[in-house]
Structures are given as C-alpha cells and as structure tokens.
Amino acid sequence: MKHRSHRRPRLFARTALATAAILWTGLACSQVDCLAAGTPVGSIDMKLLVVSANGNEAVLPAIQSTLEYIGIPYDLMIAKDRLLTTDMLCDANDGLGRARYQGVLLATGSLGFDDNGSYLSAFTDEEWNRLWQYEAKYGIRQATLYTYPGGWPDNYGLMQPSALDTTSSPLSTQLTSTSPAGNGDPSGAALFSYLKPAVPLVIRNAYTYLAKPDPNARVTPLLTDAAGNAIALIKNYADGRKNLAVTADGNPHLMHTLSLGYGIVNWVTKGLYVGKRRVLLSAQPDDVMMADDIWDVNALSDATGLTYRITGKDYESFVRWQNNRNATKPGNIVIDIPFNGSGTAANFPKAELYPATTDDLTPAIKKNSAPFNWMSHTYTHLNLDSPVTYSQTLAELRENHWVAINVVKLANYYKDSLITPDVSGLNNPEALRAMSDFGIRYVVSDTSKNCGHRDATPRPCPKPNTGIYNDLQPNILMVPRYPANLFYNVCTPREWVSEYNHIYRGYWGRDLSYQEILDKESDIWLQYLMRYDIRPVMFHQPNMCAYDGTRSLLGDLIDATTDKFNATFNLPVQSRSLRQIGNLMADRMVLNAAFAPASGAPATARLLPGASSSSLVLTNPTAQAVKVPLTGVNWASTSSVVETYGGQTTSNVTVPPNGGVVTVPGAPAW
C-alpha cells in the first residue's frame, strides 16, 4: 500500500490570526517579563512544543508518532485556535526565567492553512517574533518539518524552489559528510549517525521542494540530491537561533520520514531528553509441541486433515539458524516460544502428523532449550472463553507449568507469562481469576481487534509502546501483539505462496512469488523496527519447520526484515521476552501518567543550565514512584540504572512518589 503525502500550498498571505481573540487562559500572567534581556535563565523544562496550523498536516502524526514511541513529553498547539502568548513559552514568577519547552517543532515552515480558499499563516508577525525571541534567549532549537524554501516568514536558508512529485519520480538523496567551518553544526552523516552514510535515502510518495542553499545565509546542508539541492539543512541566525528545515513532506509510513525522524528530534533536544529508543524484534511462534492444520495447495483449504508438528530436526535447524544469525549479523535475536505441554505425551497419532513421525521433538528441546525464551500456551491449547471455568483454567496452567519444570526442564522459562490459545479468555472473569491466582501477570491481546482491548467497548487505543491492564483483572497486563501474514498453517514456501495468493490475488492483481511475498511482509515488519515499536509479532510453530532441511519461513522473514534494516541503519536489533516487554510497557505507562496526569500536578524534569555542565531536577508529586529515562546523561546511583544503546547513554532514574525530588548531576552544558 502506498502512503502518499499531499502537496501543500506554496504561498501564504501575511495576515493577522483570524482567531486572535482566543487567548491561552490556562496559565497566570508572569509578574516579571521572562523574555526580557535582564531576566536570568533559571531552568528549562524537558518537554517539546509541537505547533500545527490546523491539525491536518500529513507530517503532524509522523512527528507525534516519533515522540510517543520514544516517550518524549510534548504539548501540541493548534495555532489557528490559540494565540502564542509569552506565558505559554516561559514564566519568571520567582525572578528567574523558566522556559517551558526545550525545543520547538513546527509542522510546516509557514504554519499555513486553507481558510475557505485563502491561505493564511496561523501565526501573526507578533507571534513569530515572540517565538524567535524565546528561542534566542533560552537557547531553544527549532525544526520545520515540511518547509517551503524562500517563503514567508523566513527563507530558512534556501533559494526559491521548484517542486517535485516523488510518487512518479523518486528522489535519491545523500547525507553530507562535511559541514562548513564556523557554524558549529554536524554534517548530515554525523547528525543522523544511526544511518549508514554511504546508502542513498530515497524519497518516494511525497511532494518535495528542490532548492539550493542561500549563499548569503549561514547554513549547513545535511541531505542533498545530485544537483546540490538541500532537502534538509540547518540555518544559523545572528541572534544564536538554529533551525533544521526539511523540504520533503512526510507521514508516519514513509521510509524517509521514519529514517529522519529520530535525528531531527535528537538534534532539537541537543541529545538530552526524557525517553529512550530501542529497536526490538520479538517473534512468538505459538503451539510448539502441538500440531497445527496445514494448507492443502490442491484443495486450497486447511480443512482436509493435513497437520504438522515440527520435528526434532526442524527444532535443531532453527536453533542453528538463530545462532548463526546472531554470530554473523548485528544485534541479537532470541525467539520467544509459547508451548503446549500435552505435546510431550506423544498423544498425537501418526495419522494426524504431516509428515508422519515419531516424537523426536521433546528430546531435542530437553537437550537444548536455552537458546530461546519460553512461556505457557496452556497444556492442551484449551480455548479459555466462557463457559470455561476457574478450575479448568487453573488445571491447564498448573499442568503446563509442571511439564515445563519437570519434564522438559526448560531454561529461560517465565511462569508469569501466558499466550492464551486463540487470544481467548480475556473476557472470561473466571479464567482471568485463575490466571491471576496462578501468578500470570503478562498476556497478549490482538491489535487487529478493538486496538488490543479485550472487547468492543469503546476505549481509546493504547499509546505507543504501552499495554492495557485488563479491567476485569487489573493486575494482568495485556501486551498488544501484531498479527502477521505469515499464516499459522504454512510450513513451506509452496504452501505460503498458495494461500497468500488465494487471499490477496485480487488485491495485488496477480500472483506474487515467494520472494515478492517476503519483500511485502518484511516491509511491514521493517516499519515496526524503524519507529522503535516494541510490540511482539504472532507466528505459529509450522513456520519454524526446515522446509529444505536448513531454512524456515520464519527465519527467512526475520532475515529479510533485519537485512533491510541493517542495510540502512547502524543500530543493533534486539529481542525481549514477553515479561520484559510487559515491564517496559508498564514503566512507560507510569511515565506517561506522571507527566500528563488526568488530574493534579504533573511530574517534571527541569534542566538547570550551566556553562560547562548542567543538572537536572526531577520532581514527582504523583502517588506512584516513576522511572524516568534520561537519554544523554550518564549517572549511576542507587536510584539510577545506566544503559547504552546506539552510542547514547540513558540513565533510568527512579523518583519517589508524593513530592519526591531527585537531582541528577553531569548533564551536558546548555
């Protein structure tokens, strides 16, 4: 599916805001002018301001998605409906200037919008000047995410442009390797250091303005085409301000938007922000030790009695694939396996297996379970929806646990994690009560139904990288899990190609080959990686079979996905167990709730700027301790755990509840 960003108006009237009488009333007026030259800079809130003209820009959900997957707090301002006042930007009630935002992101360079056929800017001259004065005083960086060069209110360091529709003419661009002396700016390769600089970034399905850098401006090109047009560049202003402009439109699904998003945000925040990014790939092949139906390529059905349960040789081959993949490619992939213990009893007659085999799988797993993570899928794969009882559910969980510990003796087995068969039982109070009493704390839900909620009751979709506490059993966290078009009932390329084309021939207009299907489906999974989405993905045990004695469908799809990612990105792809993902989501949910509570004062992170180094002050007035990830700070203590990823350090600082305050030293100079 193509995701196209639409063309924006090129010229905008320099006009007063039509709704200037609508004032921002949520903040009291400052007693001291926080923008005055004599007001000392006291602190800067670690939060971003995102400004949209009318909320309809295609690039707006893209930048929101980037911020929300990383976990960076931000406020959204719809500029046509509110006047940008000084009190929105800063205050000085204590005699010191407190900046409310550490960076500014404008959806478009002019904040233009269509007002009944007239193209207006949502900011007046006064508002633009107020914003620029604020940025200059507090050292705040700005990015304009879709920028018309040479226009009003600023040319952003670019000459008059021409326009290109990259839907019909994709544009190949390259990160710059050097930067002009004296500007203090990184090159494109340095700023987007997580991208491989030698690999062209191709812009497709987005209108793009082509313009040369203005020779009279202090600019640093970051991304250029073969003709020397700057698709992204930094402009330096005489008052110390900096703006990063992008001349290509974007949306949350476009490759260039996903590629550039993190670098823009990291630059705007000067590499210091609340939140963190991780590239996680977590595959969960259900039903291991059981048999699944298999697609009959002749009957075009999976109801003809064909079944498959992976063999010991399949399992050993899959272990070799994972080990070899991790030894020869960046990152570390660990498959997260839900298992059904009844399969160890060899209670499937040979007639039900395809091909017929003896049970060499159980001995193979007993011999070498350590390469994977393991969790329960119940003993017999019992659907846990009503009328299944408390006692039936508890028996399923207990029996499966006994097999895990005493029969198969699984390493890396997590008793508190469960994939319910058919994603069932999430609406069954008795089944949920049994899960809770047994000690289950993490289950999955289906993102393709009700946004991952347990039923169709209208509820907001969960925020990115968060879960959903089951409202019938609130101590069980439901981790939204993606389905995949690698179907549960295919073991070989022939079977997958047959069923895929049976379903999607009409959509694509023709049959696709195995390599084409891999390409389409890996593109979908690739987007999850590129946006730092930590949700797991669902598969089934036939996908692990060694269809040629070595390779498997699941291994092929993971290789295709990670090969694409590794061709462009310098970041390691990692895996997490369901329990680890659940913990990450639970931490993010507490963080989100603390910084944007439904009522009461929010938690805050404030930067106290210093010439050589700064410090951060974290406050938590909420009733629950909050773990605040601070990227760009290396501070290990009894309340902080430090981790490094992609060349950046994150200090995970626990702030106690009910007015707790933690001061973090050693932040970069501002």
CATH number at residue 51: 3.40.50.880
pLDDT at 12 over 50: no
pLDDT band at 344 (very low <50, low <70, confident <90, very high): confident
Same domain, 128 and 240: yes
In a domain? residue 9: no
pLDDT of 15 over the 50 cut: no
Please, what is the angle between helix 390-402 and helix 429-438, to 10°?
Answer: 40
Do residues 131 and 243 both lie within one domain? yes
Above 50 in pLDDT, residue 206? yes
Query: Is 25 inside any structural domain?
Result: no
Q: Decide if pLDDT at 5 tops 50.
A: no
346 vs 584: which has the higher pLDDT: 584
> What does the pLDDT read at residue 31?
61
Is residue 223 domain-shared with residue 299, that is, in the same domain? Answer: no
Q: 381: closest CA among 450, 307, 321?
A: 307
Least confident of 25-39, 159-173, 292-306, 423-437: 25-39
And the tokens for 78? 């719809």
Percent of residues, the chain, with pLDDT higher than 90:
91
Q: By the 8 A CB rule, do 402 and 344 touch?
A: no
> What CATH number is associated with residue 658?
2.60.40
Give domain status of residue 217, yes or no. Answer: yes
Same domain, 376 and 516: yes
Q: Are residues 155 and 289 in the same domain?
A: no
- The mean per-residue pLDDT over the stretch 565-578 comes to 98
Six-digit token pair at 115? 């007002």
Q: How far is CA 169 from the centre of its chain?
A: 29
* Average pLDDT for 570-583: 98
Do 561 and 450 have their domain in common? yes
pLDDT band with cut points at 50, 70 and 90 for residue 346: low
Select from 470, 459, 467 the least CA-distant residue to 424: 470
Whether cis (ω within 30° of 0) applies to the bond prior to 621 is no
Q: Convert the pLDDT of each residue in 428-479 to its tens digit.
A: 999 999 999 999 999 999 999 999 999 999 999 999 999 999 999 999 999 9
Q: Using one digit for the tens of pLDDT, what is the confidence trace for 258-317?
A: 999 999 999 999 999 999 999 999 999 999 999 999 999 999 999 999 999 999 999 999
Same domain for 522 and 638, yes or no, is: no
Domain boundary among 248, 270, 292: 270
Cα–Cα dist 670/665, whole Å: 13
Residue pair 237/133 in contact by the 8 Å Cβ criterion = no
Helix (H, G, I), strand (E, B) or coil at 24: coil
Structural domain contains residue 463: yes
**Which residue in this structure is represented by tokens 């039903």?**
287
The domain that contains 427 carries what CATH number?
Answer: 3.20.20.370
Asked whether residue 529 falls in the same domain as residue 621, the answer is no
Provide the token pair at 262: 């993190």
> Could you read off the pLDDT of 595-637 as tens digits, one per residue?
999 999 999 999 999 989 999 999 999 999 999 999 999 999 9
Overall average pLDDT of the 5-11 stretch: 41
Model confidence at 323, pLDDT cuts 50, 70, 90, reads very high
pLDDT for 20: 31
Query: What is the SS3 assignment for 288?
Result: strand
Q: Does 141 have pLDDT greater than 80? A: yes
pLDDT at 378 > cutoff 80: yes
Residue 425: pLDDT over 50: yes
Does residue 351 have a pLDDT over 80?
no
Query: 27 pLDDT exceeds 70?
Result: no
My answer on whether 244 and 143 are in the same domain is yes
User: Is residue 261 within 8 Å of residue 33, measured between CB atoms?
Assistant: no
Tokens (6 digits) for 347: 């209670």
* Cβ neighbourhood burial of 168 (10 Å; 0-12, 13-18, 19+): exposed
> For 148-157, 386-395, 444-453, 537-546, which range has the lowest pLDDT when averaged over its residues?
148-157
Going by pLDDT thresholds of 50, 70 and 90, the confidence category of residue 551 is very high
Show the 3-state SS of 424-490: CCCCCHHHHHHHHHHCCCEEEEECCCHHHCCCCCCCCCCCCCCCEECCCCCCCEEEEEECCCCCCCC
Structural domain range at position 627: 598-668
Mean pLDDT for 517-536 is 98
Given 249, 270, 291, which residue is the final one in a domain?
270
pLDDT at 352: 52
Residue-wise DSSP of 522-541: HHHHHHHHHTT----EEEEG
Q: What is the pLDDT of residue 7?
A: 42
Q: Looking at residue 517, what is its pLDDT?
A: 98
| Domain shared by 555 and 602, yes or no | no
What band does 94 get if pLDDT is binned at 50, 70 and 90?
confident
When divided into structural domains, the chain yields a total of 3
Q: 8 pLDDT exceeds 80?
A: no
In a domain, 10, yes or no: no
Q: What integer is the mean pLDDT of 325-345?
A: 95
Residue 22 lies inside a defined structural domain of this protein: no
Q: Who's near 24: CB < 8 A, 6+ residues apart?
A: 82, 83, 84, 85, 87, 88
Average confidence score pLDDT of the chain? 93
Over the stretch 352-364, which tens digit does the pLDDT of each residue have? 544 456 789 999 9
Query: Rounded mean pLDDT of 381-389?
Result: 98
Domain membership of residue 13 (yes or no) is no
Band the pLDDT of 32: cuts 50, 70, 90: confident
Residue 19 forms part of a structural domain = no
Do 287 and 266 belong to one domain? no
Look at residue 52 and tell me whether its pLDDT is greater than 90: yes
Angstrom distance (rounded) from CA 372 to CA 163: 51
Clarify whether residues 391 and 454 are in a common domain: yes
Q: How far apart are CA 41 and CA 98, in angstroms?
A: 7
Please state, in angstroms and as integers, the Cα–Cα distance from residue 323 to each residue in 249, 278, 319, 580, following that order: 41, 22, 6, 21
In one letter, which amino acid is 106? L
Q: What is the mean pLDDT of residues 317-328?
A: 98
Q: Say what the pLDDT of residue 358 is.
A: 76
Domain edge (last residue) among 530, 548, 578: 578
